[in-house]
Amino acid sequence: MKRFLVSLLLIACVAFVGFAADGTEEGLILGEPVAVTSAGQSPGALQFTVVAKMIKLEYTFEKLLSVDSIDISQFKTLVLVVGASGKGLGAANIDIEAEILRVKSLAEAAKENGLKVVVCNLEGESRRGPSSDRIVTELAPFADAYFVKSDADQDGFFTALSEEAGVPMATFEKTVDLRDVLTKYFGK
């Protein structure tokens, strides 16, 4: 009888761990639909949508998504693809201060409406620098996860933010490898 109870308890534990293992080891499962925007006006957000299509992620993409242009409550996840681009900001006719205000307002609204917020560096080391890092730092208090191209974290910048906040960080080597991260976190 004792063996039977121990076996039953062991089976129950394995089943519980199996259910908990769905999604990520951190237990974070992201939901659809997803709002995607650039945070810095680099082409990274558009690249994100290409990868999202590969896994048939339900998303809406707008380069200048703002709290005034969309009802954020219709989404379950907000992805902010960080990468400051002087050329992109100029083409959008906004400066870095206005961009930070826009994406912070979006992140605040997302949290107020129960969305998960992902800060993503898709373009790697080339989208690191004072402006990009400032955007990431401003968004850090809202992040539920970081998706980071490996070479963007050579100095441990994203790792430190992730560990400090106790939120998961997934890294990938090439842009196309983001597909595996999205598959894992969105349960595709």
Per-residue pLDDT of the chain (188 residues; tens, 9 = 90+): 444 333 333 333 333 333 333 345 568 899 999 999 999 888 899 999 999 999 999 999 999 999 999 999 999 999 999 998 888 877 888 889 999 999 999 999 999 999 999 999 998 888 888 999 999 999 999 999 999 999 999 999 999 999 999 999 999 999 999 999 999 999 98
Give the per-residue pLDDT at 10: 35
HEC assignment per residue over the chain: CHHHHHHHHHHHHHHHHHHHCCCCCCCCCCCCCEEEEEECECCHHHHHHHHHHHCCCCEEECCCCCCCCCCHHHCCEEEEEECECHHHHHHCCCCHHHHHHHHHHHHHHHHHCCCEEEEEECCHHHHCCHHHHHHHHHHHHHCCEEEEEHHHHCCCHHHHHHHHHCCCEEEECCHHHHHHHHHHHHCC
User: For 162-184, what is each residue's pLDDT tens digit?
Assistant: 999 999 999 999 999 999 999 99
User: For 82-97, what is each residue's pLDDT tens digit?
Assistant: 998 888 877 888 889 9
pTM: 0.84
